[in-house]
Amino acid sequence: MKVAFISCILGYPWGGPDRLWTEAALRMQERGDEVFVGISPLTADHEKVKELQRTGASIFLRHENSIFRGRRKELQRRTPVLREGYLETQLAKFSPDLVILTQGGTFDFTAEHYLMDWLLSSRTPYVLVCHQAQEAPTLNQEAQVSMTKVFSQAARTAFVSTANRMTAEHTMRLVIPRASVIQNPIAWTAKGALPWMGDLAGPADLFALGRIDLWQKGWDIFLAAAGRVAKEFDFVIRLAGHGADAALIREYAAYYGVALRLEIQEFLPPEDIHNFWCRGELFLLPSRSEGCASTMLEAMMCGRPLLATRVGGVDDWLQDGENAFLAGATSVELVEEALRRALTNRKHWREMGLSARATFDARRDNDPVGTFVRILDSVVTE
């Protein structure tokens, strides 16, 4: 089988969504399938992509999406010498039996006019994989028509959370056919809950690991809430990860009077990850939008309770008062209420962490990549 994996995520470096398609591509290539990959240059240097290339995959670097339909772009795509640099030309030459499109957001395809046209006109079966979704997306009339057509004609559609599937169906007013909810692989595994280093006599350790993104991850809202409860509770906030917003987050912390409680570690050496998790007591996920955060699953795997907003995959995995403290939305008032409730009940965190681990064990797909590959295979076998 000839399989093309296309990433519509062009503006971000390697992230959680990339683990699923690269692992699936490697498995399919190992069994003898021919693989084509279309990705952003920002992810081309990752070891998984290099491994795909070493083992025979054709790698095409995407420098832009096709949202602009100007006259110059139209002429370039029709000029023999220039059109070789466009994705749809390379796909036509590869002539895949199946195309898998990984979207960072549910409706990234609105910026992929030429790719959309090629897929629909070539009648090549395609699978949509949808990750993060805004809770209240907006689509103009033209985009509504296009997206309804794209989702209706997809051979399969895979979401990483129930909430995001429901949001997509609500936005398009469409019951998406042949849709399912899948799980992403996570970066590492722990055989059991990690040791607990928290000491009730010391400050509560509130922590998070992942992309340092002020708006999407809701840190401006969380810091405002933290400032409101700072006089009543003793706590520290530790963030680790990569991103461009560390300085801005520090400014918000200073503005809300919690600068001395905040620690941001923009580079966390692999040998320090274990201690980082063991120190942590309450994992923070105050996001405005999510797919199904890999770090949420890692926190549960490590036996840590969470404070989270009810977006994306949160409701698939977390239950308020049992393994998490949930805020109904990313607002200062609701996050403050959840944080106040969490800090008041700190003595129960360890027990709630064990409940989080038990939920993880019960609901976790032991081979999410294998499940995904079986979905892909079903497209060409049914």
Question: Could you give the CA distance from residue 261 to residue 87 in angstroms, rounded to a whole number?
Answer: 48
| 382 residues of the chain, pLDDT tens digit each | 999 999 999 888 888 889 999 999 999 999 999 999 999 999 999 999 999 999 999 999 997 766 655 655 665 655 555 566 789 889 999 999 999 999 998 998 888 888 998 999 999 999 999 998 776 567 888 888 889 999 999 999 999 999 999 999 999 999 999 999 999 999 888 889 999 998 899 999 999 999 899 999 999 999 999 999 999 999 999 999 988 899 999 999 999 999 999 999 988 888 899 999 999 999 999 999 999 999 999 999 999 999 999 999 999 999 999 999 999 999 999 999 999 999 999 999 999 999 999 999 999 999 999 999 999 999 988 7
pLDDT of residue 110: 86
Torsion of CA 357, 358, 363, 365, to 10 degrees: 60
pLDDT of residue 141: 86
Question: Could you give the CA distance from residue 290 to residue 315 in angstroms, rounded to a whole number?
Answer: 11
pLDDT of residue 305: 98
In degrees, rounded to 5, the angle at the alpha carbon of residue 306 between the alpha carbons of residues 162 and 183 is 35
pLDDT of residue 178: 97
Q: Kindly list the structural domains of the chain, giving each domain's residue range(s) and its CATH number in brackets, ordered by start.
A: 2-183+366-381 (3.40.50.2000), 204-363 (3.40.50.2000)
pLDDT of residue 381: 86
pLDDT of residue 242: 87
pTM: 0.92
Contact 86, 77 (CB under 8 A): yes
pLDDT of residue 85: 72
pLDDT of residue 8: 93
Contact 317, 329 (CB under 8 A): no
Other residues' Cβ atoms within 10 Å of the Cβ of residue 372: 26
Phi, psi (degrees; rounded to nearest 5) at 74: -60, -45
Residue 148 CB-density burial (10 A; 0-12 exposed, 13-18 middle, 19+ buried): middle
Output the DSSP codes for 307-320: EEES-TTHHHH--B
Contact 177, 152 (CB under 8 A): yes
Q: Which of 288, 211, 194, 280 has its CA nearest to residue 246? A: 211
Residue 179 CB-density burial (10 A; 0-12 exposed, 13-18 middle, 19+ buried): middle
